[in-house]
Amino acid sequence: MRIMKTKRSKSIVAAATMMVVLLSACGSHPTAQESPKAEASASDAEQTAAAQGGELTYALATSPDTLDPHRSGLAVAVRVLRTIYDSLVVQLPDNTIKPWLAKEWTVSEDGLSYTFKLREDVKFHDGTPFNAEAVKFNFDRILDPATKAANAAALLQPYESSEVIDEYTVKLNLSTPSRAFLGNLSQALLGIVSPTAAKQYGDQLGQHPVGTGPYKFVKWEENAGIQVERNPDYHWAPELVDNPGAPYLDSVNFRIIPEEATRIGSVQSKQVLAAETVPPQNAIALKNHAELQLLQTNTVGLPYTLFFNLDHAPWNELKARQAVQLAVDVDAIVKTLYLGTYERAWSPLTPGTFGYDPSLENSIQPDLTKANQLLDELGWVKGADGIREKDGKKLTLHYVDGTPNREKRNDIAVIIQQQLKQIGIAVEVEITKDVRTVVYTNGDYDLYGNSQVNSDPNALYSFYHSYDPNGQPTLSRLNSPEVDEWLEQGRVEKDDAKRAELYKKVQHYIIDNAIILPIYVFPYTVAASQSVQGIKFDSLGYPLFNDVSLKK
């Protein structure tokens, strides 16, 4: 099996260092307030080493919701967004932050303002100049309620306002200090869109995306595919990739193929050159394949997690949630469905995320006797059909999942339905195409699964803090003053050890109170022809196509 790892290009690093806000569980973290200068580009020889031209066909597991980065809420969209849009800064695999559209920056002593010096040679695909006004427009757009920027707005917190100092200098003001802010600016959902295009297309920008990225948007055929083409003027790639200039490929054609067997079969039959989210059985088979390769990277952030809706009875009662926690055999689910290719999750965080607490591993084991006892104590009595009843009402759990069956998540629902029947809970599984309405707008669920790719534990804030800036409750509906305080302190704590302890408290509270059921840690996998060279992954596990070439 070929495992691709991101390489850092050789570069000249300026003497000044920067304040690093995204941390990892290992390694040192410089804390000086000034950023490094932009780095030297690769040599001309490096630029011409790869084969030029051709189209990469890349199969996606589902269709993006939109190509407007500020409105998107799907990880699959980021695969495409990253070809079209750039960010102010880039995060490397060691979690250091380096220049991209911003060439340097300083942070005020109180941590409440970030001043960025921007590149002066960048243009959007439509010819609009990239400058300080464009940056201000973007971040103010995210804050505008009319944009409906849920995910981007959460990442941008606690941004408050921008000041244009001069044409290529912008100052970002925060309401409170944030250890995660600079790293969040590197994420694709905070990518910089053309102000001209945003004004022209309004809420339809997602169908007409315009950025500064290495590829330009060509077309989007609904439920069929998205095509982007080489941006010949591109010469400001970040240090994360080896190729500083325009991509080697002429174009990338993202094809939407939801069905797993069909998607991987399309690579095997050479209908596409690469396909994402490889089923476990195929991943095993590809280890020694003569014509295909398996590319794989681990993701960080929040694992795939099932969230209880704490607003719904009886799941607002601790004993009811603990009964489910003790009856669901997560080990059996992960081993059965993923054949050893996925890691079981134990915490609200993945092991690669700063602050992860390994003491939670093996802390919860299946115990049907205890689970039954807890439900007995709550007065739920088994009826003739084996389902528990109380006050004439059946004990049911409304389990909602989306379609298509991404990463066998629908199959998880079926297994949990069988497991909970053993303790007298009837699980009603609803598979919907409209998760946004059912879950986020109507809150019509007892159990719903989600995950988030993020390198900082501050990601827990938008899932478990009681306050939501968009006026919507979080998935868990958790309202804990203790958790709120720990999450707020974690955002600003400068001491790494103290910060890690705060997030350990959050993790223990969530597991001890059975707020969630962590299921698995997601590895991002790609099956590709051996002719495909140079696919790399960013620090969050998303594919990058700057260095990709096709061996002829």
Model confidence band, residue 37 (pLDDT cutoffs 50, 70, 90): very low
CATH 3.10.105.10 assigned to domain 301-521? The reply is yes
Least confident of 153-157, 466-470, 476-480: 466-470
Cα–Cα distance for residue pair 377/373, rounded to 1 Å: 6
Domain ranges of the chain: 44-297+524-550, 301-521
The type of residue at 153 is: A
Dump pLDDT digits (tens) for 201-211: 999 999 999 99
Residue 495 token pair: 């001491």
Dump pLDDT digits (tens) for 494-545: 999 999 999 999 999 999 999 999 999 999 999 999 999 999 999 999 999 9
pLDDT averaged over every residue in the chain? 90
Stated pTM of the model: 0.82
CATH 3.30.950.10 assigned to domain 44-297+524-550? The reply is no
Say what the pLDDT of residue 70 is: 98
In this structure, the strands spanning 447-453 and 225-230 are unpaired
Alpha helical stretches, state H, 88-179: 132-143, 150-156
Average pLDDT over residues 119-127: 99
More reliable by pLDDT, 473 or 38: 473
Say what the pLDDT of residue 16 is: 29
pLDDT at residue 476 above 50?
Answer: yes
Dump pLDDT digits (tens) for 302-323: 999 999 999 999 999 999 999 9
Dump pLDDT digits (tens) for 201-242: 999 999 999 999 999 999 999 989 999 999 999 999 999 999
Least confident of 143-147, 411-415, 454-458, 465-469: 465-469
Dump pLDDT digits (tens) for 325-383: 999 999 999 999 999 999 999 999 999 899 999 999 999 999 999 999 999 999 999 99
Q: What share of the chain is helix, strand, coil (3-state, %, to 5)?
A: 30, 25, 45
Say what the pLDDT of residue 49 is: 56
- The Cβ of residue 167 has, within 10 Å, a number of other Cβ atoms equal to 12
Percentage with pLDDT > 90 across the chain: 82
pLDDT at residue 6 above 50?
Answer: no
Give Rg (Cα) of the chain.
24
Dump pLDDT digits (tens) for 424-443: 999 999 999 899 899 988 99
Model confidence band, residue 298 (pLDDT cutoffs 50, 70, 90): confident
Cα–Cα distance for residue pair 517/428, rounded to 1 Å: 17
pLDDT at residue 152 above 60?
Answer: yes
Cα–Cα distance for residue pair 216/58, rounded to 1 Å: 16
Contact (CB, 8 A) for 483 and 508: no
Say what the pLDDT of residue 501 is: 98
Percentage with pLDDT > 70 across the chain: 90
